[in-house]
Amino acid sequence: MSAAGSPRPVPERIVIASRESALALWQARHIQAQLAGLYPRIRIEILGVTTEGDRRLDASLAKIGGKGLFVKELEEALASGRADIAVHSVKDVPMVLAPGLTLAAIGAREDPRDAFVSNRHPDLAALPAGARVGTSSLRRECQLRARHPRLRVEPLRGNVPTRLKKLDEGRFDAVLLAAAGLKRLGLDDRITRLLTPSESLPAPGQGALGIECLEGRADLVELLAPLNHDATARCVGAERAFSRALSGSCNVPLGAYAEPEGSRVRLRGFVGAPDGSRLVSGELEGPGDGAEALGTALADQLKAQGAADILAQLQTSS
């Protein structure tokens, strides 16, 4: 309802900004279908956008600006009016949004785990010493180096099909990917083994989709409300608060995963050195309606246990 109590005007068209990778377009079409089901009289269109993160595949994300490079151009499309909403993998969204933007809805989470993919080996423990494991994530690299120091961790960039092709060409003995992306693309059969959070703690927001729009678009915020999944939103809020309190970015090996337990939330988190030489982890449980405070509290706990020293060293070396 508007301030005067009359029905809020409904837009004739909603344009969704999306990256042009197969996975990003699947995600945009998924939201498009949900909106079309809710609002059949509104035209729902997709605007494909190539981001800097998609163009610059010759360097690690940590060196060229982090995962925010996957959302910058989409947010510019919102600011210019070329698009009304943008659909993101929440794990790619910076922990502090640009002024004037909001995550209006977070959808129900797909599988948040990391997936081990190999054509010859059943799991990480079966890989021989010196085996090459590909990943684009400092978070995964840190945990791999800490738990499997005999393996060689090598950089792997590109979209999901490109990464799988590099594995199939023999450039790697195994690769680690987000299970959600493989499942959404119908590539479940490529998953050799799903890694438990104890083996590889996920990234904040992994497996969840976020819908972003301008804060001033109250009409869109209202229309997007039915797409918000409360339990997922609470858990992701805790994870992002944890990361935000630790200045989480692609330069900080950091993981966070929250699970709903009735009306409460259980949050696990870690911070580590990129080479895996040091890793500080912990967990807390608290009320679901205080999930963000729980994330901040766990971050403070880890800082006191040594995470502050790790973060200071990372800042000095960057």
User: Phi and psi for 87 in degrees, rounded to 5?
Assistant: -110, 130
- Which residue intervals of the chain are DSSP H helices? 22-38, 52-55, 61-64, 72-80, 138-147, 160-168, 179-184, 218-224, 230-245, 291-302, 308-317
Query: Are 136 and 115 within 8 A, CB to CB?
Result: no
* DSSP reduced 3-state for 189: helix
- Residue from 92, 111, 114, 173 carrying the catalytic annotation: 92
C-alpha distances in Å from residue 131, one per residue of 148, 200, 213:
11, 18, 44
Q: State the residue for tokens 């002024």.
A: 99
Phi, psi of 86 (to 5 degrees): -130, 140
Closest CA to 107 of 180, 210, 182, 32: 210
Mark whether 168 is an active-site residue.
no
Question: In angstroms, rounded to a whole number, what is the distance separating the alpha carbons of residues 88 and 53?
Answer: 13
What 76-82 contacts at long range (C-beta under 8 Å, 24+ apart), as own/partner pairs, is: 77/17, 77/47, 77/49, 78/17, 78/212, 78/213, 78/214, 79/214, 82/15, 82/17, 82/47
State which H helix or E strand residue 15 sits in: strand 13-19
For 123, 200, 232, the CA distances from 112, given in Å and listed in that order, are: 18, 11, 11
Residue 208 tokens, joined: 């969840």
Structure tokens at 227: 């797409």
Catalytic residues: 92
